Amino acid sequence: MLPASLPRIHLAQLPTPFYPLDRISEHVGGPRIWVKRDDLSGFELSGNKVRKLEFAVAEALQHKADVLITCGGIQSNHCRATALIAARLGLQCHLVFRGTEPDIKDGNTLLASLAGAQCSYYPATSWGRLKEHFLFWKAHYAAQGLSTYEIPTGASNAVGLWGYVNAASELVSDLQMHGLDACLVCCATGSGGTHAGLALGMAEFAPDVAVKGYAVCDSAAYFQEKGAEDLDAWCVKYGLSLPGNSLELDIDDRYIGRGYGIADPGVYETIGLVARLEGLLLDPVYTGKAFFGMLDGIRSGRFDRFKNVVFMHTGGAFGLFPERDALTLV
Ligand SMILES: *Cc1c(COP(=O)(O)O)cnc(C)c1O
């Protein structure tokens, strides 16, 4: 399915490990839980964004861009990964952050600054004008004779989808190697590209495998529409059609809590439980919420028809440190 001519630069350490979490499975009861360690796709470049950026940044190089511009929340893993990739490739990076400049740089923000990224901060109230902010910085660099390549939030667009189409094919090999059937794959959904890419890849390579996304911010309806837009754009850009000509995205939005980046006590408890039982680190913004939702699904018997539930671990460990106060209580 991957067009041979598709620009890609190899940045992620692939394939990522895949193994069962038997201590937590036993603790919870129900289907056997497995983990796909996309948090181990690198160190500086760890997490799900690297898979997408392999394709996005390759396109930027093809366009001979000098500056990568992207955006995200203050603790954005995507911004950190983009900043570090830019440094590695000798590009400049400009990050447009949603929120006020933190007094102390910590976690991902610290690493992005270390990598030399230029950072601008915009209050959440002006986020509706994100396009204007991008245009402003594009013009700013153009005035210096520099060309820019814009990467949307989370690299979730037609290009970025390839990252998780590719990951789906890798995961299908893992499932086959272990002889697994009746599988459900769960992931966190923040800008939608990971889930849409996985769903697209699975529909193509292993239609029996179910894929469920756990929203960490917006509603299921929002993500269904966003996914449909990205998938449409993908079809148009690459002249391809969707397997079966349509794709339903299964999104659960019951575990968002009070909003993006705000975790309920149950999420912190889940992070503590998984750390103690498996020595596995989840994060409060994405994977902690998704794992919490997944465990709730297993505990309530909603996943009884599956023999195996795979957690796609999308990373985020650097985001643990700024949450030290909440985490010392679990
Ligand atoms: C961005 C991110 C996600 C969500 O992926 P999307 O493709 O943006 O939906 C999940 N987990 C982590 C750690 C992330 O940084």
Does ligand 1 lie within 6 Å of residue 315's CB atom? yes
State the pLDDT confidence band at 231, using cuts at 50, 70 and 90: very high
Interacting residues of 133 by C-beta distance below 8 A, sequence separation 6+? 71, 96, 120, 122, 126
CA of 191 to the centre of ligand 1 (A): 7
* Closest listed residue to residue 74, CA positions, set 317, 262, 261: 261
pLDDT in tens, 146-199: 999 999 999 999 999 999 999 999 999 999 999 999 999 999 999 999 999 999
d(C-alpha 40, C-alpha 82), whole Å: 17
CB-count burial class (<10 Å; 0-12, 13-18, 19+) for 39: buried
> Which residue CA neighbors atom 12 of ligand 1 most closely?
314
Share above pLDDT 90 across residues of the chain, in percent, rounded to a whole number: 96
Q: Among the atoms of ligand 1, which is closest to the Cα of residue 287? A: 11
Q: Please tell me if the CB atom of residue 197 comes closer than 6 angstroms to any atom of ligand 1.
A: no
Residue 4, pLDDT above cutoff 80: no
Q: What pLDDT is stored for residue 287 in this prediction?
A: 98
Assigned token pair, 125: 């109230």
pLDDT band at 267 (very low <50, low <70, confident <90, very high): very high
CA 137 to chain centroid: 25
Closest to 108 in 3D by CA, of 315, 330, 329, 326: 315
Indicate if 76 belongs to the active site. yes
Catalytic position from the list 25, 76, 156, 191:
76
Q: Kindly report the pTM of this predicted structure.
A: 0.97
pLDDT of 1 > 80? The answer is no
**Which atom of ligand 1 lies closest to the CA of 283?**
13
In the prediction, which pLDDT does 114 show? Answer: 98
CA 105, chain centre distance (Å):
22
pLDDT in tens, 194-216: 999 999 999 999 999 999 999 99
80 CA to centre of ligand 1 in angstroms: 12
Under DSSP, the state recorded for 104 is: S
> From ligand 1's centre to the CA of 216, what distance in Å?
9
Do 278 and 270 form a contact (C-beta atoms < 8 A)?
no
- Give the mutation target among 52, 165, 194 for probing the ligand 1 site: most ligand atoms within 8 A of CB: 194
Distance between CA atoms of 188 and 167, rounded to whole angstroms? 15
pLDDT digits (tens, 9 = 90+) for 13-34: 999 999 999 999 999 999 999 9
For residue 3, CA distances in Å to 6, 77, 139, 198, 292 come to 5, 28, 33, 17, 37
Q: Does the Cβ of 78 fall within 6 Å of ligand 1?
A: yes
Q: From ligand 1's centre to the CA of 282, what distance in Å?
A: 12
Among the atoms of ligand 1, which is closest to the Cα of residue 190? 9
77 lines ligand 1 (CB under 6 A): yes
162: helix, coil or strand? helix
3-state secondary structure of 138: helix
H-state helical runs in the chain: 22-28, 48-62, 77-89, 107-114, 130-142, 161-177, 193-205, 220-238, 265-278, 287-299, 324-327
Provide the residue type at 94 as one letter.
H
Listed residue (193, 186, 191) closest to 210, CA to CA: 186
Backbone angles phi, psi at 159, to 5 degrees: -65, -50
Nearest ligand 1 atom, CA 316? 13
For ligand 1, the distance from its centroid to the CA atom of residue 286, given in whole angstroms, is 6
For residue 89, give both structure tokens.
Answer: 């490739």
What was the pLDDT predicted at 55? 98
Q: Which two tokens stand for residue 10?
A: 């190899």
H/E run at residue 98: strand 92-98
Q: Is residue 193 lining ligand 1, measured as CB closer than 6 Å? A: yes
Could you tell me the distance, in angstroms and rounded to a whole number, from the CA of residue 193 to the centre of ligand 1?
8
pLDDT of residue 328: 83
**Is the C-beta atom of 287 inside 6 A of ligand 1?**
yes
Q: What tens digit of pLDDT does each residue of 34-90 get?
A: 999 999 999 999 999 999 999 999 999 999 999 999 999 999 999 999 999 999 999
* Strand, helix or coil for residue 89: helix
DSSP string, 173-210: HHHHHTT--SEEEEEEESSSHHHHHHHHHHHHH-TTSE
Closest atom of ligand 1 to CA, residue 47: 13
- 31-41 pLDDT, tens digit each: 999 999 999 99
Q: Determine the Cα–Cα distance for residues 141 and 54; give it in Å rounded to an integer.
A: 24
Q: Which of 212, 289, 314 to mutate to test the pocket of ligand 1 (most atoms within 8 A of CB)?
A: 314
Cα 190 to ligand 1 centroid, rounded to whole Å: 5
| pLDDT bracket for residue 305 (50, 70, 90) | very high
- Of ligand 1's listed atoms, the one at least distance from the Cα of 193 is 7
